[in-house]
A and B are shown apart, each in its own frame.
Chain A
Amino acid sequence: MSSVTSAHSVVEPSPTSKRIAGAIVMLYALITLIPLAWIFLTSIKSPPDSISYPPKVVFTPTLEGYCNLLTTRTRQTPEYIASLPAPTSTCDEVTRKRNMVIAGPSNFLPRFANSLVIAFGSTFLAVSLGTLAAYGFSRFRVPLAEDLLFFILSTRMMPPIAVAIPIYLMYRELGLSDTALGMILLYTAVNVSLAVWLLKGFINEIPREYEEAAMIDGYTRLQAFWKVVLPQATTGIAATAIFCLIFAWNEYAFAALLTSGEAQTAPPFIPTIIGEGGQDWPAVAAGTTIFLIPILVFTILLRKQLLRGITFGAVRK
Chain B
Amino acid sequence: MQKTLKALLGLASASTMSLALPTIAKADQLTLCWAAWDPANALVELSKDFTAKTGTEMKFEFVPWTSYADRFLNELNSHGKLCDLIIGDSQWIGGSAENGHYVKLNDFFDKEGIKMDDFVPATVVGYSEWPKNTPNYWALPAMGDVVGWTYRKDWFERPELQKEFKEKYGRELAAPKTYDELKQIAEFFQKRQIDGKTVYGASIYTERGSEGITMGVTNVLYNWGFQYDNPDKPYEMDGFVNSPDAVKGLEFYKALYDCCTPPGSSNVYMVESADAFKSGQVAMQMNFAFTWPGLHKDEKVGGDRIGFFPNPAEKKHFAQLGGQGISVVSYSDKKDAALQYIKWFAQPDVQAKWWQLGGYSCLKSVVNAPDFASSQPYAQAFLDSMAIVKDFWAEPSYAILLQDMQKRVHNYVVAGNGTAQEALDGLVKDWTEVFKDDGKI
Contacts and interface: CB of A to CB of B under 8 A. Distances in A.
Interface in A242-274: 257-258, 260-262, 271-272, 274
B12 A278 contact: no
Contacts of B1: 234-235, 238, 305
B95 to A, nearest CB: 16
A124 B80 contact: no
Contacts of B5: 234, 237-238, 241
B15 A117 contact: yes
A178 interface: yes
A51 interface: yes
A299 interface: no
A177 B279 CA distance: 41
Contact of B79 (A72, A177, A234, A235): A177
Interface in B1-25: 1-2, 4-5, 8-9, 11-13, 15-16, 18-19, 23
A51 B279 contact: yes
Contacts of A117: 15-16, 18-19
B213 interface: no
Contacts of A235: 1
Nearest to A176: B78
Contacts of A125: 16
A139 interface: no
Contacts of B13: 124
A121 B12 contact: yes
Interface stretch (B120-128, B268-276, B320-328): B268-276
A277 B278 contact: yes
Interface string B288-303: 0001001101010000
Interface in B25-69: 31, 33, 36-38, 41-42, 44-45, 61, 63-64, 67
Given A120-B15, A124-B9, A172 B79 contact: yes
A279 interface: yes
A180 interface: yes
B74 interface: yes
Given A274-B36, A276-B294, A277-B38, A124 B12 contact: yes
A120 B17 CA distance: 11
B72 A260 contact: yes
Contacts of B72: 260
Given A234-B2, A277-B271, A262 B82 contact: yes
Interface string A272-287: 1010111100000000
A96 to B, nearest CB: 14
Main SS at interface, chain A = helix
A116 interface: yes
Contacts of B271: 274, 277-279
Interface residues on B, range: 35 or more
Contacts of A120: 8, 11-12, 15-16
Contact of B41 (A72, A180, A271): A72
A123 interface: yes
A121 B16 contact: yes
Contacts of A103: 41, 44-45
B74 A260 contact: yes
A223 interface: no
B250 to A, nearest CB: 28
B18 A272 contact: no
A302 B4 contact: yes
Interface centre among B8, B44, B274, B275 (most CB of A within 10 A): B8
A168 interface: yes
Contact of B294 (A184, A260, A277): A277
A201 B172 CA distance: 80
A260 B63 CA distance: 10
B433 interface: no
B41 A279 contact: no
A168 B278 CA distance: 41
Contacts, number: 114
Interface in B77-95: 77-80, 82
Given A74-B41, A121-B15, A260-B80, A274 B2 contact: no
A99 interface: yes
B110 to A, nearest CB: 33
A262 B31 CA distance: 11
B41 A241 contact: no
A257 B278 contact: no
Interface string A144-182: 000000000000000000000000100110000110110
Contacts of B23: 262
B75 interface: yes
B71 interface: yes
A316 B78 CA distance: 41
Interface string B155-171: 00000000000000000
Contact of A301 (B4, B33, B41): B4
B264 to A, nearest CB: 12
Nearest to B65: A274
A59 to B, nearest CB: 18
Contacts of A257: 74
A75 interface: yes
A237 B299 CA distance: 57
B148 to A, nearest CB: 16
A104 B59 CA distance: 11
Given A120-B11, A178-B82, A276-B294, A74 B45 contact: yes
Contacts of A72: 41, 44
A261 B61 contact: yes
Nearest to B5: A238
Interface centre among B12, B36, B44, B80 (most CB of A within 10 A): B12
A26 to B, nearest CB: 29
Contacts of A180: 19
Contacts of B45: 74, 103
A277 B295 contact: yes
Q: Which 9 A-B pairs have the closest CB atoms?
A: A124-B12, A260-B75, A177-B78, A120-B12, A278-B275, A261-B82, A120-B15, A121-B16, A117-B15
14 contacts: A74-B44, A124-B12, A124-B13, A172-B79, A181-B19, A235-B1, A260-B80, A260-B82, A262-B23, A272-B64, A277-B295, A278-B274, A278-B275, A301-B4
